[in-house]
Amino acid sequence: MPALLCHRAAADPDRTALVCGPRTLTFGAWHERAGALAAGLRARGLGPGARVVLRYGGGDWIAYAVAYCGVLRAGCVAVPLSDRQPPAVAARVVADSGASAVLHPPAVRLPSGVLPDGVWTATVEEAEADGLVGTPAPDPDPAALAQILYTSGTTGTPKGVTATHANLVHGCTLDERRRPLRHSRHFLHAFPVGTNAGQTMLVNALDAAATAVAAPRFTPGRFARLIEEYAVGSVFLVPAMAVELLGSEAARRYATDSVRLVGSTAAALPQPVALALSQAFPHAQVVNYYTSTEAAPAQITLLFDPDRPDSPGRPASLRDLRITAPDGTPLPPGQPGEVWLRTPAAPRTYLGDATAGSEVFQGRWVRMGDLGRLDEEGYLHLIDRERDVVKSGAYKVSTLQVEDALHAHPAVADAAAFGVPHPVLGSVVAAVVVPRGELTVPALRAFLLDRLAAHELPARLLFRPSLPRNEGGKILKRELRLLLDDEALR
């Protein structure tokens, strides 16, 4: 990535690479500041391989971009972390990653006494000032460790996932004619720092033909206004953002006909939401990007077909996707099984424990933790997250299918389905719904009778004003189960 930044700065130093709020960053300034920061880190005694936590928020994308490339240019290892994570979580990440330092904007300093002894903190500006007496390290070895990114932790303690320099820049180019997103002058996202989706956008800012626009914080009206203001051609979001955008009156006040690509990632996009996106952006191709923190840069690009809304799309190639039995045997079309992706670059690993990922990483193949099938025409059908499948009596219920049925009701703004214990059946389906306008539980149950089998119908339905989500937009189903437990005690 430092070499890519150096190339772009030399080719077009005054070209804007990144916009965030009122601030902009050119490739020339990005390269110069990253070099000064790298020299400052070296002057402070950080050598190749030292880990540096980068704790930044959505409004700090420019400072974060400088910090990230400066850390890598110094030969150090970047550990991205959102400033919305509480100090205790930040301290755990610092300790788990073995970090020597924390870089942060001035407004988000960690409380004294939280960090382990010997770990220092600084702003980019403070570290840049020290660079006057230091020199940056040479370009790092492509096989050297470059990044430790922590998983979302929706089902347990977040795990550190390591990536090399070669892994991060796989697919990037020095050929101006081959840069991605050439149909766009600008691309827009509102992904937080510290997520795999956010890191993809950072690489795009370095590699794409289009200029990156990072929304400091997602609100539907502000997001749509940015589309109009910059005539955005490519929009990237997560399903939760799509739901809010489609349901917003404020967003409809802005012109969005410049959009040619709507990309969704991080979680399964409900079928009714994907169909609504294709209608809201009639000039755009809706794309589901299927990947994970562990699998990247492995990614399956699924082009959504409004005439086939039962599938997130058909992969352009099946070479790096397979459906297998539990023993790893590939399965023929039509048969459900485990989904695996093959990474074209040096594979990622879990930090610290070589055996921890033995069930996830097998050579260049990465187990996605999803169940799915390919039909005869090559369309992928995701059945569910393996851990989310509800085993109810003799049946297995897909929570994704239940959520699709719930989202099909025009008065359902958002929904989540999950399993809860049952004394006879083992488990049954429960659902928490965010209603839009007038909606009653009996009316929703009647609506679902035509769309779900008896064993798929939610045994418990609860209405709430919102769903708990992590920063990446993933629903925290463990919190929903606690919510139902609290409701039962009232």
Nearest to 122 by CA among 52, 60, 74: 52
Sign of the CA dihedral with 304 first, then 161, 187, and 176 last: negative
pLDDT for 317: 79
d(CA 166, CA 366): 17
The structure tokens listed for 488 are: 């039962």
pLDDT band, residue 483 (cuts 50/70/90)? confident
Contact present, 333 and 374 (Cβ < 8 Å): yes
Query: Over pLDDT 70: what percentage of the chain?
Result: 96
The structure tokens listed for 225 are: 């206004």
pLDDT in tens, 215-270: 999 999 999 999 999 999 999 999 999 999 999 999 999 999 999 999 999 888 89
pLDDT for 390: 94
DSSP track, 53-118: EEEE-GGGHHHHHHHHHHHHHTT-EEEEEETTS-HHHHHHHHHHHTEEEEE--GGGPPPTTSSPTT
d(CA 485, CA 420): 10
Query: Over pLDDT 90: what percentage of the chain?
Result: 73
CB proximity list for 226: less than 8 A, separation 6 or greater: 188, 213, 215, 232
Total-model pTM: 0.90
pLDDT for 175: 92
> What is the domain partition of the chain in residue ranges?
2-139, 389-489
Given 3-state DSSP classes, what are the helix, strand and coil percentages for the chain, each rounded to the nearest 5? 30, 25, 40
Q: Which of 151-155, 293-297, 321-325 has the lowest mean pLDDT?
A: 151-155
pLDDT for 363: 87
Residue for token pair 């994570």: 85
> Class for domain 389-489, per CATH?
alpha beta
**Do 2-139 and 389-489 show the same overall fold?**
no
CATH of the structural domain 2-139, one choice from 3.30.1300.10, 2.60.120.620, 3.40.50.980, 3.40.50.300: 3.40.50.980
